Chain A
């Protein structure tokens, strides 16, 4: 029975979602996996930038995006969304933060709400390495410098044209010398 489930409407996530979830080893088993991710998601919403190991960061990113997208789509009067927020956020003041601060911030976003940046892999240590998971629009200084597209700036346009002119002039000169060589021979 591989029909899509129709009971809930979900928004499309703007992050790369892997087809299979990761399992995390914990004494409680599968139940413990969600407990761990709950703690991570709570910390992310509380501190807005956290450093942790890469696999847990990737999983928590998915859950955080889902929580925020549900809050944006359904608002705080929707029973199911409120139940999810109540479960995923261990501190109840963060439920208020989700609906009163994060939802207005991300209302008109066309991109993902979180950013995952790979962190240092310190030897000896966990092979897969660390990652920094942050909510976009946070008040801290940016982790990576802003990328601008300098291609269409005036000095670059002029330089590109100058390069093209130089190369075509060189081609003409070479063509001229080869012709004279062939003519001689």
Chain B
């Protein structure tokens, strides 16, 4: 009984150990292109395309289709009541300005990252945290991601806002994707799935053009859990082995018609024409920044030599 109480408080501790930190950084990592999973873009290449041209005969530069996965925070919040084109345009300018100062690399849920934040209260004035990205969200300058790690047997999650001026450096130590878009189930999984050494070195990838998908299936601890994982259609979790009544109730409560609700999907997405316009706007500047970084890095290597 005592042991169960301890486990309970441990899990509550995990849930309650949210605290915000922000940091800024200047680092240079190669911007890689990810494999496009949807059947739409299965055959397209990761090079910026030139449209055949509008009526005037000028070529129109169009961003590659993977941009929406690499930079999802450039797309605005789809809720119609909160759309404001001017505000979105100004935000994009600010985001690009911030990206020219700090390198915010491409990452996905399931990537292991290290973030360095300016912290007045720590001895080195910087605080570095390594963790696996379990969720990312927000749009525009409010874009955030959550890193999770287990430190001294205590699960710790930190929410970082990507464009906060306190962030010094964002490094991606292992760039990969998982089978789910949200890894919140790691809170109920065995601790080894969330543990990463704090002095982890960045890993080199053999194939730079494709972001690998880790097909790992995670083992969960026995119930009680923080959420009803059996109702969420998780791909990255091992068989839950629950009594049948759980699955029956999940079926009763499920909304299978939402899969066919076309207007629900529409209200949750930004239409393709708008996406193209936004990324065409942003694409040339991002390319310029990447180019400058490469030059700086090459110069740095030459100076060392």
Q: CB within 8 Å of B: which residues of A?
A: 1-13, 17-19, 21, 30-31, 34, 59, 62-63, 66-67, 70, 73-74, 78-79, 83-84, 87-88
Contact = CB atoms under 8 A, between A and B. Distances in A.
B263 A1 contact: no
B49 interface: no
Contacts of A12: 271-274
B78 A34 contact: no
A66 B263 contact: yes
Contacts of B38: 7-9
B76 interface: yes
Interface string B60-87: 0000000011001101111111000000
A66 B271 CA distance: 11
B265 A3 contact: no
B72 A4 contact: yes
B266 A17 contact: yes
Nearest to B74: A4
B260 A34 contact: yes
A39 to B, nearest CB: 14
B100 interface: no
Interface size bucket, B side?
35 or more
Given A10-B265, A70-B262, A2 B138 contact: yes
Contact of B68 (A6, A13, A18, A59): A6
A3 B137 contact: yes
14 contacts: A2-B78, A3-B72, A3-B137, A4-B76, A6-B269, A9-B38, A10-B269, A11-B272, A12-B272, A18-B80, A19-B80, A62-B262, A79-B39, A83-B260
Which of B40, B135, B255 is packed against the most chain A CB atoms within 10 Å? B40
Contacts of B266: 10, 13, 17, 62, 66
A7 to B, nearest CB: 7
Contacts of A4: 72, 75-78, 139, 268-270
A9 B72 contact: no
A23 to B, nearest CB: 13
A88 B139 CA distance: 33
B257 interface: yes
Nearest to A5: B268
B6 interface: no
B201 interface: no
Nearest to B273: A12
A3 B135 CA distance: 11
Contacts of A19: 79-81, 267
A2 B81 contact: no
Contacts of B69: 6
B269 A5 contact: yes
B136 interface: yes
A2 B136 CA distance: 10
Nearest to A2: B77
B242 interface: no
Contact of B263 (A3, A21, A70, A87): A21
Nearest to B143: A3
Contacts of B81: 19
Nearest to A79: B39
A30 to B, nearest CB: 7
Nearest to A67: B262
A37 B78 CA distance: 24
Contacts of B68: 6
A62 B255 contact: no
Contact of B261 (A2, A9, A34): A34
